[in-house]
Structure 1
Amino acid sequence: MSGYVARVRRGDLPGGGTEFERLMESAARRWASIDPLLPAPPRPRRSGDTLLTVSDEAGRPVAAGTMRYSWYQPGEVGRTWGMPDQHWLTPLVGGPEPGRALDSLLTSWREQLEALPTGTGSESSALLTWPARDVCGVVPLQRHGLQPFSVLAVRRRGRGVPPVLPPRDVVIRLADSGDLTEAVALLMEQHRFEEDFGGVFVQAETAEQTRGVLARALSRRPSWIWVAERRGRLVGLVWVSPPQRARWAAPLVSGASPAHIGYGVVTEDERGAGIGTALVEQAHQALDSNGAEVALLDYSLMNPLSGPFWHRMGYRPLWTTWEARPALALR
């Protein structure tokens, strides 16, 4: 990697001149060529954060990355969804050799993490998201000790779902506040299952926090939560955020009016009967008729059920989150 020079800055990007704009354009062209559903690359400008830059032999920037640190205290919701100390890098990589530029950027990131006084112990992680189809990054990411961990998947509007009818005694309906207790039990069953894949850490407060968030969702009309009920018992659930409740997802995808599916759950003893497919089909019909151009959802790569199911439902990877635990396992 000789010839590439890494620098560390605080605050905004240096000048925002023509050379940096060329880096932005280069990254945008590569993203557009590999995946039409990727958004335009975001400009990495966060005042006060640490900015890493990489330049080529002629001094032209070929990569930049913003470092961000999140720390979740005991009792906070974030402790359920990952390590307490999270070090994130938001990379922007361009130039004629993006793999080489990314390699240098990751080397610089490792050096910065090593110099930190705290936050890189056994309960820490180093994370970044990378376009799933941008395969030039795979080897550098692996070389630096990062592992693919989770996927943000996307489905275009109208993409078909294989027609499967649920059992005759299963009713699919919108949930309401009367379903709160049983729905929390379903979500906690899902949380405990996900613990096996290292992405969820159930805390003492998790059930009550889940109950609070779900109660607020069920108080809305419509709730956008569908449940499957068999003989008076809830056996499945799909929880959707329609476009008007998922504006935060707009920067993640190029399609207009994105929606997000937060949960798709079928209790263990009812899996394989078509209940999950029926739930998702109901959600898709509602989203398609309400103007959602794309739908997004997250799943763990280690979960042997999630990936195959969601692919059958018309989803495919858009972004991959890569992680090293602890943070200094980054090489």
Structure 2
Amino acid sequence: MDPALPEAYPLPRGGEPVMARLRGGEPVAGLTAHTTQPPGSLASLWSTTETYELFPLLGDAPGEGMDALLHALRRQLGELGAPEHDSSCLVTWPSGDVAATRALLDHGFVPLSCLAIRTPVATVDTKLSGTVKMRRAEPADVDSVVELAMAELEYAALVGASVPRSGAAGLKRDAVSVRLRAKSGPRGIRRADGAPSGDPVWLAERDGNPVGLAECGWVDADNQHSGHRLGNGLWGYVNCLSVREEERGTGIGRELMSLVHDDFAAAGAVGSYLYYNPANPLSPVFWHRRGYRPLWTLWEIRPATALR
């Protein structure tokens, strides 16, 4: 998952055991460590007075195991008499384990902080290898576009608000078909540089096989009428960037976005925008490196007094 992770999972010396079983009967377990920060202590500046930290032991079932264990933890916190005021429940878990991330989000956890590291690494040549071609997608590419868009949706559902509902592929296909057939941009804008207008959808192909997708659009913001949270003008919108798992880290996403940004600029856009999930271990660092910064933060209301 990450070569920087320690070989052994650190466990506290004490703690209350918590047990649960998966649907097939396999056990998962953990330890719950309770700490109290005295009033006026330095640690009270960054911690609640009462903290219940779960140390899960999930085996080979990080998603189902975390879900089952958090249900058991909820019952345990009631038995321990966890207070409703100035208390918290904490789980520290590898960022790359997105199956467990989905369970944590479902139970009301939000990613408040992370332990980040930087280690010396050898320079990696990210120049694209093989034959990689970038081009505008056409109506005949609808199958490839939908496949790559669904891969992004399924991953995003593990780390954020996306939901892979039944019929999602059909909904994606309908939306993509409209995008690929569009001939002009917002409010009928046609580009002065002669390039295709419409909603730009880009494909990356390696040796003729689709390996990356950048599905984009336009927003003509007019705050007096539309209520957009953007400055007035034409904006490029990045709806979906998807690279096949085996191709990630080779530079395809970077090159696709360079092409997208050049295309936005050529069309006269005042800027571009997108949404990403803070809990996603891949997208924040990628988008920050592309020059994006947070403008608005959307927070969900979570129960303040109890684990779901």
Structure-1-length-normalised TM-score: 0.47
Write the mapping of 1:33-182 to structure 2, written as runs, cut at 5 A: 147=110, 165-182=127-144
Does the Cα contact within 8 Å between 1:243 and 1:292 map onto a contact in 2?
no
Q: How far apart in 2 are the matches of 1:294 and 1:254?
A: 9
Bigger Cα displacement from structure 2, 313-322 vs 189-198: 189-198
Question: Does 2:296 match 1:324?
Answer: no
Q: How far apart in 1 are the matches of 2:259 and 2:152?
A: 20
Does the Cα contact within 8 Å between 1:148 and 1:321 map onto a contact in 2?
no
Change (3 A) 1:296 1:225: same
Does the Cα contact within 8 Å between 1:167 and 1:274 map onto a contact in 2?
no
Q: How far apart in 1 are the matches of 2:220 and 2:293?
A: 23
Residue of structure 2 in register with 1:266 after alignment: 243
Does the Cα contact within 8 Å between 1:148 and 1:322 map onto a contact in 2?
no
Deviation at 1:291, TM superposition (A): 1.1
| Corresponding residue to 1:253 among 227, 230, 247 | 230
Residue of structure 1 in register with 2:169 after alignment: 207
Say which SS state the counterpart of residue 163 (structure 2) adopts. Answer: coil
Q: How far apart in 1 are the matches of 2:303 and 2:267?
A: 43
Does the Cα contact within 8 Å between 2:130 and 2:207 map onto a contact in 1?
no
Change (3 A) 1:327 1:240: farther
Q: How far apart in 1 are the matches of 2:306 and 2:238?
A: 32
Say which SS state the counterpart of residue 199 (structure 1) adopts. Answer: coil
Residue of structure 2 in register with 1:236 after alignment: 212
| Corresponding residue to 1:279 among 256, 260, 265 | 256
User: Which amino acid in the other structure matches residue 251 of structure 2?
Assistant: G
Change (3 A) 1:289 1:271: same
Q: Deviations over 1:65-97 (max 9, x none)?
A: xxxxxxxxxxxxxxxxxxxxxxxxxxxxxxxxx
User: Which amino acid in the other structure matches residue 154 of structure 2?
Assistant: R
Percent identity of the aligned residues? 33
Does the Cα contact within 8 Å between 1:228 and 1:235 map onto a contact in 2?
yes
The one of the two structures with greater contact order (alpha-carbon pairs below 8 A, sep at least 6) is: 1
Deviation at 1:234, TM superposition (A): 0.7
Residue of structure 2 in register with 1:304 after alignment: 281
Q: How far apart in 1 are the matches of 2:259 and 2:248?
A: 17
Q: How far apart in 1 are the matches of 2:164 and 2:203?
A: 23
Deviation at 1:328, TM superposition (A): 9.2
Q: Which runs of 4+ in 1 moved over 3 A?
A: 145-149, 243-250, 325-330
User: Which amino acid in the other structure matches residue 218 of structure 2?
Assistant: P
User: Which amino acid in the other structure matches residue 207 of structure 1?
Assistant: A
Q: Deviations over 1:28-66 (max 9, x none)?
A: xxxxxxxxxxxxxxxxxxxxxxxxxxxxxxxxxxxxxxx
Deviation at 1:300, TM superposition (A): 0.6
Deviation at 1:187, TM superposition (A): 0.8
Q: Deviations over 1:241-265 (max 9, x none)?
A: 1345999987212353222110111
Residue of structure 2 in register with 1:294 after alignment: 271
Report the aligned-residue RMSD. 3.1
Residue of structure 1 in register with 2:80 after alignment: none
Change (3 A) 1:299 1:329: farther
Deviation at 1:167, TM superposition (A): 2.8
Deviation at 1:194, TM superposition (A): 1.1
Does the Cα contact within 8 Å between 1:301 and 1:307 map onto a contact in 2?
yes
Unaligned runs of 5+ in 1: 1-124, 126-144, 150-162
| Corresponding residue to 1:184 among 146, 151, 163 | 146
Say which SS state the counterpart of residue 291 (structure 1) adopts. Answer: coil
User: Which amino acid in the other structure matches residue 210 of structure 2?
Assistant: L
User: Which amino acid in the other structure matches residue 227 of structure 1?
Assistant: L
Higher CA-based Rg: 2
Question: Does 2:175 match 1:225?
Answer: no
Unaligned runs of 5+ in 2: 1-104, 113-124, 184-195
Q: Deviations over 1:93-127 (max 9, x none)?
A: xxxxxxxxxxxxxxxxxxxxxxxxxxxxxxxx9xx
Does the Cα contact within 8 Å between 2:237 and 2:274 map onto a contact in 1?
yes
Residue of structure 2 in register with 1:57 after alignment: none
Does the Cα contact within 8 Å between 1:148 and 1:320 map onto a contact in 2?
no
Structure-2-length-normalised TM-score: 0.51
Q: How far apart in 2 are the matches of 1:246 and 1:237?
A: 29
Deviation at 1:198, TM superposition (A): 3.7
